[in-house]
A and B are shown apart, each in its own frame.
Chain A
Amino acid sequence: MDGTTRTRVSAALFRRPWLRAGLLLSAPGGWFIFIYLGALFLLFLSALWTVDSFSGKIVHSWSLANFETLFKVSAYRTIALRTIGIAAAVTVTDIVLAVPFAFFAARIAPKRLQAILFVAVLIPLWSSYLVRVFAWRLILSKDGILNWFVGNVGLGSLNIGYSNWAMWIVFSYIWLPFMILPVWAAIERVPDSFIEASADLGARGWRSFRLILLPLILPGILAGSIFTFSLTLGDFITPTLVGGAGSTFIGNVVYQEVGISNNVPFAAAFATVPLVVMGIYLLIARRMGAFEAL
């Protein structure tokens, strides 16, 4: 390509910004359409197939049998509701923990302490997810650190290892940084003058928080909640490791159906449930302005 062609091409592209944008976006766009949407499409497609119970082979004929089973068998309803319920509980817990922490870190702590707190929030993310879950398993087990501590204080013993309580604690711990960071950013962005103006007009701390700060940081909280909610919704490792007798998650059923029962279509059908739940959640979050804080 000599100099004139190059000039001409760049001039042509300059005059047609849509073409320039199209060329730039073709690679990521193609990836998005083929890999991301394509996988979603295949997921729905295979959910409509069934498996022959005797030979274990997939029958390629359309039926809604998998979705029918999902709705009719109460066990799957229980599992779906448990998954959504714990994801919601974890999200609320993380909001309650993250907002005061982020408020202190962003507005009260001196600069040096701020840096230390920032690192402290991030440090757990440097270690493996599995290591942290296993650590909790040891902490919560019957002869573990928690019961040793509780026993020494004279409160008898707690029996929460391998239970839904254990899952709630571990999930809340693991996803907390994903809530703190967006909330921190949101609180940092609120100008001091707003709070001062509120105080000048006679509002005390709680009222200023409720009427001024909270509406302004709500998008940050929602952004964090998308992480905590969706991460819990899709997990299957924590329920396996710290869950008890009644701790099956949607992810565990999907894993069992693929890895143990070899029923990929049913797994696909069940996997669409968190997808739909997340879709609804994202729509609501968008309405409330969550994406402005990302």
Chain B
Amino acid sequence: MRLAKIDWALAAILGAMTIGVTACGSSSSSSGGLPTKIGNGEGQLNLVAWEGYAQPEWVKPFETATGCQVHAKYAGSSDEMVTLMRQGGGSTYDMVSASGDASLRLISGGNVGAMNVNLVPEWKNFIPQLQSPSHNTVNGVHYGISLQWGPNVLLYNSSKVKPAPTSWEAIYSPKYKGSVTVPANPIQIADAALYLSKAQPSLGITDPYELTEPQLNAAVSLLKQQRPLIKKYWTAAADEVELFKNGDAVIGAAWPLQTNNLQADKVPVGELIPAQGATGWADTWMLAAHAKHPNCAYKWVNWVSTPKVQAEQAISFGETPANTRACPFMEQIKKGSCGRYHANAPSAYFESIKFWKTPVKNCGNGKSDCTDYSVWQKKWTEITA
């Protein structure tokens, strides 16, 4: 492995040099040059996506209809998405399905460019909260088209976890020691903070992403207590599916995607949003600042915004479509799915989810004594090392 290590180092250095060189060479493009119509496709489209966001079910028909061959690279965390979009001078990938904790970092880093929402007719049918949300629209400029949203759920093996859990406490209590799994992702600190906001009101946590140092320390010490209970921190959805299949994990934090996959494989699992509420995601397709295939990219956002594809993806992943007209299509594919995935839920449901966002120093209440994401990353290394 000595040689392999050197190769690695070499690759790392070359990577560093390319980033350095292109960073010097690139100049910010003027924001006034938004396209006014979609031209012919370039034949190719390179995506950075969450696992399950580029299923053949809706990618194949897109390729046939537009001639744009889709190459998707799955990323396991928002950090990885940001890094992938920054590597190689930011022109390797055309689009990224960024969640709220990545989108603002990409915008402020100049890695993604403005988009013309008028080229996406279905955009007008999105729920009002996702037409110009603060995580992808800055000063009235749209940096992407919203896609889907949903909660992080508590997943459990219904034949081994009895009675069914009702609280996030289940993944912090020693009852299931050695059989718990949670994502290998620093944003997991927010899940602990959300639990503490209800379990220890004296800490005064109002927003799990805006933590002062004592609040962060409380969340970190909870996660350190949780560490001996953990079987494995999962990095890919498929990892967690295997852990549940082989009996290594019986309870954990998950996406509804894992529940769907496990139930399809006849593994007895259930999921719920516990009493404390849940963290969640609202994803946006964002266009790389130096995208090589912008026409295919616009064709893609149009395709995934149509009610039918919105419905297909919602059911496949287990999330809620942004397009309000998706509901009847969902019912067509699978009876009862519109209600199950909250596509017709009142806006109070949307407000109840604490969507991922990047922790920053500014607490939003005029004070700036909150801990930023780099502190979270360091603490997370401490917890999991």
Contacts and interface: CB of A to CB of B under 8 A. Distances in A.
Interface stretch (A4-12, A110-118, A242-250): A242-250
A142 B247 CA distance: 6
A268 B4 CA distance: 14
A39 B247 contact: no
Contact of A230 (B2, B16, B23): B2
A259 B80 contact: yes
Interface string A98-113: 0000000000000000
Interface residues of B, number: 44
B13 interface: yes
A262 B86 contact: yes
A162 B82 CA distance: 29
Interface in B244-260: 246-248
Contacts of B246: 138, 141-144, 161
A248 B1 contact: no
Nearest to A233: B1
Contacts of B377: 261
Nearest to B15: A264
Interface in B72-104: 77, 79-80, 82-83, 86-87
A245 to B, nearest CB: 4
A233 B4 CA distance: 12
A261 B83 contact: yes
Interface string B236-279: 00000011001110000000000000000000000000000000
Nearest to B377: A261
Contact of A267 (B12, B109, B382): B12
Interface stretch (B118-126, B192-200, B227-235, B318-326): B227-235
A78 B383 CA distance: 12
A289 interface: no
Interface in A253-294: 253-254, 258-262, 264-265, 267-268, 271, 274-275, 278
A46 B248 contact: no
A261 B79 contact: yes
B331 to A, nearest CB: 37
A235 interface: yes
Interface string B1-40: 1101110111011011001100100000000000000000
A73 interface: yes
Contacts of A231: 1
B380 to A, nearest CB: 10
Contacts of B109: 55-56
B385 interface: yes
A246 B294 CA distance: 43
Nearest to A272: B9
By DSSP majority rule, is chain B's interface helix, strand, loop, or mixed? helix
A258 B4 contact: no
A56 B1 contact: no
B226 to A, nearest CB: 9
Contact of B385 (A56, A230, A246): A246
A235 B5 CA distance: 9
A235 B1 contact: yes
Which of A144, A162, A246, A260 has the largest number of chain B CB atoms within 10 A? A260
Interface string B345-385: 00000000000000000000000000000100110011011
A48 B233 CA distance: 31
Contacts of B108: 54-55
A43 interface: yes
B382 A73 contact: yes
Contacts of A73: 378, 381-382
Contacts of B23: 57-58
Contacts of B86: 56, 262
B8 A271 contact: yes
Nearest to A175: B1
B247 A245 contact: no
Contacts of A26: none
A274 B4 CA distance: 13
A46 B248 CA distance: 41
A262 B82 contact: yes
Given A73-B382, A262-B83, A245 B2 contact: no
Given A260-B80, A260-B83, A261-B79, A39 B13 contact: yes
A141 B83 CA distance: 33
B19 A57 contact: yes
B141 to A, nearest CB: 19
Contact of A260 (B77, B228, B243): B77
Contacts of B13: 39, 42-43, 46, 264, 268
A40 B6 contact: yes
Interface in A23-47: 35-36, 39-40, 42-43, 46
A26 to B, nearest CB: 21
Contacts of A58: 16, 19-20, 23
Contact of A244 (B12, B16, B87, B231): B231
A230 B1 contact: yes
Contacts of A54: 108
Q: List 10 tightest A-B contacts by C-beta distance, closest first.
A: A75-B385, A234-B1, A141-B246, A245-B230, A142-B247, A262-B83, A143-B247, A42-B13, A264-B16, A39-B10
Interface of A: 35-36, 39-40, 42-43, 46, 53-58, 60, 73-76, 78-79, 138, 141-144, 159, 161-162, 230-231, 233-235, 240, 243-246, 248, 253-254, 258-262, 264-265, 267-268, 271, 274-275, 278
Given A79-B385, A262-B83, 7 more contacts: A36-B6, A141-B247, A245-B228, A245-B384, A259-B83, A262-B82, A274-B5
